A = this chain, B = another copy of it.
């Protein structure tokens, strides 16, 4: 039971011989995803995947929120390439989106089930990330939002590819995605995003660890095979859709609407967009 290496954006510990609890750990930044976090997530799970005794991972957010999404300060500059040629910019953006998708898909690729507990704000990249897990719980007072529309773009790192297959009300899902509005724990349960609404963060973590212990008591061969089988069925659809989305957005996120949207958000002034 080796200790997790030191990371800037993640922390974690073994809660039992087969269960590891990992946390998004930028509480002062509301666990916003900066380039470092995108980088450390696959690294941490590569470490975990090598722990032969590992059978289940529980993932939560340290502090008041699961995650406020993309760290606008840090992430944008890192993502936006410099080039005079639209085609070359598009190539770079395509490659960047693929890397971000790969980071967000980490939970899906993890050798063992990943149970995610969501509380506080769970926005943008946060919900994209949570959707690549196996099981999701949330607290009563969670505020979930597919927020990308509010910065002038379409989510391209998983949530739009996964949720339609995971939930049971396409009309509601589209309503949430087009408006960017927050949904509560109760609505998340009705939509099918989570399997349980817990009283608060503390009880949620306790309940998740209980489920984790139960799974950890089963044959690891059986559990490995179940995850492989379920993922195979769903990845057949999700993987090409992620690739397609990366192609589309490599051009679309070069839009000037992004600046207008962000400016509107910061200044609280109504955004004015050119016609299509």
Contacts and interface: CB of A to CB of B under 8 A. Distances in A.
Interface stretch (A7-15, A27-35, A36-44, A268-276): A268-276
Contact of A171 (B166, B219, B233, B276): B166
A171 B191 CA distance: 11
Given A160-B229, A195-B171, A88 B274 contact: yes
B195 A149 contact: no
Interface in A221-276: 221-230, 232-234, 236-237, 240-241, 243-245, 247-258, 260-261, 270-271, 273-276
B164 A230 contact: yes
Interface stretch (A65-73, A120-128, A198-206, A209-217): A209-217
Contact of A255 (B174, B221, B233): B221
A242 to B, nearest CB: 10
A233 B225 CA distance: 23
A82 interface: no
Contacts of A243: 232
A165 B169 CA distance: 9
Contact of A149 (B135, B154, B219, B250): B219
Central interface residue in A250, A260, A276, by most chain B CB within 10 Å: A276
Interface string A71-101: 0000000000000111111110000000000
A64 interface: no
Interface string A153-188: 111100011001111111110110111110000000
B219 A261 contact: yes
A226 B136 contact: no
A171 to B, nearest CB: 4
B224 A86 contact: no
Given A136-B171, A219-B152, A251-B250, A230 B177 contact: yes
Nearest to A136: B171
Nearest to A228: B248
A193 interface: yes
A138 to B, nearest CB: 10
A222 B276 contact: no
A53 interface: yes
Interface of A: 52-53, 84-91, 111, 113, 134-136, 148-156, 160-161, 164-172, 174-175, 177-181, 192-196, 211, 214-215, 217-230, 232-234, 236-237, 240-241, 243-245, 247-258, 260-261, 270-271, 273-276
Given A156-B229, A181-B214, A224-B276, 5 more contacts: A86-B89, A91-B221, A149-B219, A153-B222, A177-B230
